[in-house]
Amino acid sequence: MIKCRKISHSFGKGGAQLRIINSLDFSVARGETCLLLGPSGSGKTTLLSILGCLLTPDSGEYWLDQQLVRFDAPHRLARLRAEKLGFVFQHSQLLPFLDVLSNVAIVAENLGSTRRDSFQRAEFICDRMGIFDCAKKLPSELSGGQRQRVAIARALIHHPGVILADEPTAALDWERGQDVIGLFVEEAKQGQCALIMVTHDTRLVPYFDRILHIENGNLIEVGKL
């Protein structure tokens, strides 16, 4: 589903240039779940941004669903993100002016579904995520765990090929975090999505198929279950 070949990225210029990603080669197949570990500043979020078509790498090739990503066409990138990718952010990043259902439904409607269909799909996925009871609530009225479930529902509603998650449990206690991750991984597998999750929390390792460690811009595969 994802294939990176010699992806590199640096920040800064001249003598102050800092290489964050160093000629990375890796791939992730459909239905595979990967945990990306690494210390702060190791390049986890940078890599996630490149995989999410939000950041243009300095060099290398990135193939998404057998399609070479052209970073020089921003409007195509937006479409690619809408069609192929699902995102779950550290602080859920739900739209505060929309209720739960609307937060989820807009992704489908942005892809061309009618409003009626989008809301039907949103109701279905919210039901699966156990948040249907709070469908009419605003994000500010939800607990942290509920918010992340909504974020996961938003990432899954359009059946993306790849889901990128940036420390989705960082703001949750361990018990709630476990619940959320368990559900997340299960849904991703059921939907045959490639899931790449960045985290600091090594306790989540058992939930994932592959463990990748990034340090000093280099990616090391630590283990495959």
Partner 1 sequence: MKTGKSLLQTVPGSLSFALSVAMIWRRKGRVALAISGIGILVFLAKAQIGLMVGWTNTNTALIRHSGADLWVMARNTPAWDYGTAIPRQAVFQARSVHGVADAEALFMAWNTWQRPDGRKVNVELVGLDEKFWGGPWKMKSGNLSAIRRQDHVVVDELYLSLLGAHGVGGDFEMYGRRATIGAISEGIRTFTASPHIFTTIANAIEYDRRYGSNQITYVLVKCLPGVSLRTVQSSLRKEIDYAEVLTTREFARRTAAYWMIETGVGFTVVLTAILGLLVAALIASQTVMASTREALPNYATLRAIGFGRKPLVGMVLIQSIFLGVGGIGVGGGFFLWASIATARTPVPLEYTPVTLMGVSFAILIACIVSTAPALRLLFKLDPIAVFHA
Residues that bind partner 1 (CB under 8 A): 45, 48-49, 52, 54-55, 74-75, 78-83, 85, 87, 89-91, 93-99, 101-102, 105-107, 109-111, 115, 119, 123, 127, 132, 135-136, 154, 166
Specify the residue, 69 or 209, whose C-beta has the smaller distance to partner 1: 69
- Shortest distance, position 48 Cβ to partner 1, whole Å: 7
Specify the residue, 32 or 167, whose C-beta has the smaller distance to partner 1: 167
- Shortest distance, position 111 Cβ to partner 1, whole Å: 7
- Shortest distance, position 224 Cβ to partner 1, whole Å: 27
Specify the residue, 63 or 132, whose C-beta has the smaller distance to partner 1: 132
DSSP the chain: -EEEEEEEEEES-GGG-EEEEEEEEEEE-TT-EEEEE--TTSSHHHHHHHHTTSS--SEEEEEETTEE--TT-HHHHHHHHHHHEEEE-TT----TTS-HHHHHHHHHHHTT--HHHHHHHHHHHHHHTT-GGGTTS-GGGS-HHHHHHHHHHHHHTT--SEEEEESTTTTS-HHHHHHHHHHHHHHHHHTT-EEEEE-S-GGGGGG-SEEEEEETTEEEEEEE-
- Shortest distance, position 148 Cβ to partner 1, whole Å: 14
Specify the residue, 123 or 215, whose C-beta has the smaller distance to partner 1: 123
- Shortest distance, position 209 Cβ to partner 1, whole Å: 24
Specify the residue, 6 or 115, whose C-beta has the smaller distance to partner 1: 115
